[in-house]
Amino acid sequence: MKSLRNSVQLIGRLGKDPEVKTFGDKKKAAFSIATSDSYKNNKGEKIEETQWHNIVIWGKLAGVAEKYLKKGAEVAVEGKLVHRTYETDKGEKKFFTEINVNDLVMLGGKKEA
Confidence of residue 112 (pLDDT cuts 50, 70, 90): low
CB 103 within 8 A of CB 79: yes
What is the identity of the amino acid at 32?
A: S
Domain 8-39+46-108 has CATH 2.40.50.140: yes
Instruction: Report the pLDDT value the prediction gives residue 111, as an integer from 0 to 100.
Output: 54
User: Model-level pTM greater than 0.75?
Assistant: yes
Three-class DSSP category at 60: helix
Q: CA nearest 18: which of 50, 54, 60, 52? A: 54
CB 16 within 8 A of CB 31: yes
The structural domains of the chain, with segments of one domain joined by +, span 8-39+46-108
What mean pLDDT do residues 40-51 have? Answer: 92
Instruction: Report the pLDDT value the prediction gives residue 1, as an integer from 0 to 100.
Output: 52
Asked if residue 93 has pLDDT above 90, the reply is: yes
